[in-house]
Amino acid sequence: MNNLTIKMPEELKKQAQTKAKADGITLTFVIHQAIKAYNENKLKFGLLDADDEITASFDVSTEEGKKACMASFKALAR
């Protein structure tokens, strides 16, 4: 394993640690999973074209979020 040093505002780090702790995970785990998802093209960053439109965002880690996501996709397919 290697060490990774990230410079970020202290408040941002505290908020992330608090949220991770509430979710029962560590901030290290969050960062590790984000990097893994990025490497697997499951997490992307970039600029949006002026014609692009983001219509919805869903938390698919919950059953409610999965249902809302599926309902949205079904509505788009009509």
The stretch 55-61 carries a mean pLDDT of 66
DSSP 8-state symbol, 54 = -
- Spatial distance between the Cα atoms of 20 and 3, rounded to a whole number of angstroms: 20
pLDDT of residue 66 exceeding 90: no
- In 1-78, DSSP assigns E strands to none
The domain locations on the chain are 1-45, 48-78
Give pLDDT, residue 55.
57
Whole-number average pLDDT of the chain: 80
Task: Render pLDDT for 15-48 as a digit per residue (tens, 0 to 9).
Answer: 999 999 999 999 999 999 988 888 888 877 776 6
DSSP 8-state symbol, 73 = H
